[in-house]
Amino acid sequence: MFRRLSDPEKKVRMTFEGQDITAQEGESVAAALLAAGITHLRQTPVSGHPRAPYCMMGACFDCLVNIDGVSNLQACVTPVREGMSVHSQVAEKDLLHEDG
Protein backbone atom coordinates (compact mmCIF):
# COMPACT_ATOMS: atom_id res chain seq x y z
CA MET A 1 0.00 0.00 0.00
CA PHE A 2 2.99 2.31 0.69
CA ARG A 3 6.64 2.62 -0.21
CA ARG A 4 9.53 4.79 0.91
CA LEU A 5 10.98 7.38 -1.45
CA SER A 6 14.42 6.48 -0.14
CA ASP A 7 15.89 4.07 2.39
CA PRO A 8 16.01 5.33 5.98
CA GLU A 9 19.22 7.22 6.63
CA LYS A 10 19.25 7.03 10.39
CA LYS A 11 17.87 3.58 11.04
CA VAL A 12 15.86 2.55 14.06
CA ARG A 13 15.11 -1.14 14.62
CA MET A 14 11.86 -2.26 16.17
CA THR A 15 9.44 -5.16 15.97
CA PHE A 16 5.75 -5.63 15.23
CA GLU A 17 4.30 -8.90 16.51
CA GLY A 18 7.88 -10.13 16.67
CA GLN A 19 8.64 -9.24 13.04
CA ASP A 20 11.74 -7.03 12.54
CA ILE A 21 11.06 -3.59 11.11
CA THR A 22 13.50 -0.87 10.10
CA ALA A 23 12.24 2.65 10.65
CA GLN A 24 13.58 6.14 10.05
CA GLU A 25 14.59 8.05 13.14
CA GLY A 26 12.06 10.75 13.99
CA GLU A 27 9.07 9.19 12.28
CA SER A 28 5.95 7.89 13.99
CA VAL A 29 5.27 4.26 14.78
CA ALA A 30 2.28 4.37 12.43
CA ALA A 31 4.42 5.63 9.53
CA ALA A 32 7.01 2.93 10.17
CA LEU A 33 4.38 0.21 10.24
CA LEU A 34 2.64 1.41 7.08
CA ALA A 35 5.98 1.68 5.28
CA ALA A 36 6.70 -1.90 6.34
CA GLY A 37 3.46 -3.08 4.74
CA ILE A 38 1.51 -3.56 7.95
CA THR A 39 -2.03 -2.36 7.49
CA HIS A 40 -4.07 -3.95 10.29
CA LEU A 41 -3.07 -2.38 13.59
CA ARG A 42 -5.94 -3.29 15.84
CA GLN A 43 -9.34 -4.91 16.15
CA THR A 44 -12.26 -2.91 17.43
CA PRO A 45 -13.63 -3.97 20.80
CA VAL A 46 -17.22 -3.87 19.54
CA SER A 47 -17.27 -5.93 16.33
CA GLY A 48 -13.69 -7.16 16.13
CA HIS A 49 -13.18 -5.59 12.70
CA PRO A 50 -9.61 -4.65 11.70
CA ARG A 51 -8.54 -1.01 11.65
CA ALA A 52 -5.57 0.91 10.31
CA PRO A 53 -4.23 4.45 10.72
CA TYR A 54 -6.78 6.83 9.24
CA CYS A 55 -6.01 10.47 10.12
CA MET A 56 -2.30 10.26 11.12
CA MET A 57 -2.70 13.38 13.28
CA GLY A 58 -3.93 12.02 16.57
CA ALA A 59 -7.63 12.65 16.08
CA CYS A 60 -9.26 9.34 15.11
CA PHE A 61 -7.68 6.84 17.55
CA ASP A 62 -7.85 4.06 14.99
CA CYS A 63 -4.10 3.39 15.23
CA LEU A 64 -4.12 2.30 18.87
CA VAL A 65 -1.38 -0.25 19.58
CA ASN A 66 0.43 -1.84 22.47
CA ILE A 67 4.04 -0.64 22.79
CA ASP A 68 6.39 -2.37 25.22
CA GLY A 69 3.45 -3.64 27.24
CA VAL A 70 1.51 -0.38 27.39
CA SER A 71 -1.75 -0.52 25.50
CA ASN A 72 -3.92 2.14 23.87
CA LEU A 73 -1.06 4.25 22.55
CA GLN A 74 -1.64 6.28 19.40
CA ALA A 75 0.88 4.96 16.87
CA CYS A 76 0.62 8.14 14.80
CA VAL A 77 1.84 10.46 17.57
CA THR A 78 4.36 8.09 19.15
CA PRO A 79 7.90 8.44 17.74
CA VAL A 80 9.84 5.26 16.97
CA ARG A 81 12.58 4.22 19.41
CA GLU A 82 15.33 1.64 19.06
CA GLY A 83 14.25 -1.77 20.29
CA MET A 84 10.57 -0.93 20.57
CA SER A 85 8.23 -3.91 20.64
CA VAL A 86 4.84 -3.16 19.11
CA HIS A 87 1.81 -5.39 19.24
CA SER A 88 -1.53 -5.20 17.56
CA GLN A 89 -4.32 -4.34 19.94
CA VAL A 90 -6.77 -7.19 19.92
CA ALA A 91 -10.20 -6.60 21.32
CA GLU A 92 -10.02 -8.24 24.73
CA LYS A 93 -6.36 -8.76 25.41
CA ASP A 94 -4.96 -5.24 25.45
CA LEU A 95 -5.68 -4.55 29.00
CA LEU A 96 -4.09 -4.56 32.27
CA HIS A 97 -0.47 -4.82 33.01
CA GLU A 98 0.45 -7.38 35.62
CA ASP A 99 1.40 -5.75 38.85
CA GLY A 100 -1.55 -6.61 40.99
Partner 1 sequence: MKTVDLAIVGAGPAGMVAASEARGHGLSVAVLDEQEAPGGQIYRAVEAVAAQAPERLALLGEDYAHGRRLAENFRVSGAEHIDRALVWQLEPNGLWYLRDEVCHELKANRILLASGAIERPVPIPGWTRPGVMTAGGVQILLKSSGVVPDGRVVLAGNGPLLYLLAAQLLAAGCRIGALVETVPYARYLEAVPHLPAALGSGYLSKGVRLLRHLRSSGTRIYRNARDLRVEGEQHAEALCFHAGGHEVRLDSDLIVLHEGVIPNQQLTRALGCVHRWDDGQKCFRPETDEWGNTSVEDVLTVGDGAGIGGALAAEHAGRLAALEVARSLGYLQTRERDRLSTSSRRQLNKLLQGRRFLEVLYAPPEERQSPPDETLVCRCEEVTAGQVRTAVRTGCTGPNQVKAFTRCGMGPCQGRMCGNTVSAIVAETQGITMEECGYYRIRPPIKPIPLAALAAAEVDCELDDVAQ
Partner 2 sequence: MTGKPASGTTDLAVIGGGLHGCSLALQAALKGLSVVVLEKDSIARHASGVNAGGVRRLGRHPAEIPLSLASMRMWHEIEELVHDDCGFQVSGQVKVAETEGEMGNLRLRAEQLRSQGYEHEVLLDGEELYRLLPALKRGCPGGLACLDDGFAEPYRTTQAFRRRAEALGVRFLEKTRVLSLEARCSGCRLSTSSGELEAGVVANCAGAWAARICEQLGEPVPLEPIAPMMTVTQRLPFFVKPVVGTTGRLLSFKQMPNGTVLIGGGHRGRAEPQHNGTALDFRRLIRNVQIAADLFPSVRGARIIRCWAGIEARMPDDIPVISRSSTASNVLHAFGFSAHGFQLGPVVGRLMSELIVSGESSLSLKPFSITRFQRDRPAATS
Residues at the contact surface with partner 1, assessed by CB under 8 A: 1-6, 9, 24, 26-28, 31-32, 34-35, 39-40, 44, 46-47, 49-62, 64, 70, 72, 76-77, 79
Q: Judged by CB under 8 A, does residue 97 bind partner 2?
A: yes
- Which of these segments, 1-9, 13-21, 75-83, 87-95, binds partner 2 (CB under 8 A)? 87-95
**Polymer length in residues for the chain:** 100
Q: Please report how close the Cβ of residue 75 comes to partner 2 at its closest, in angstroms.
A: 15
CA separation for the pair 91, 3 (Å, rounded): 29
Distance of alpha carbon 36 from the chain centroid: 11
- Which of these segments, 3-11, 16-24, 28-36, 67-75, binds partner 2 (CB under 8 A)? 67-75
Paired with 24 in beta bridges are 11
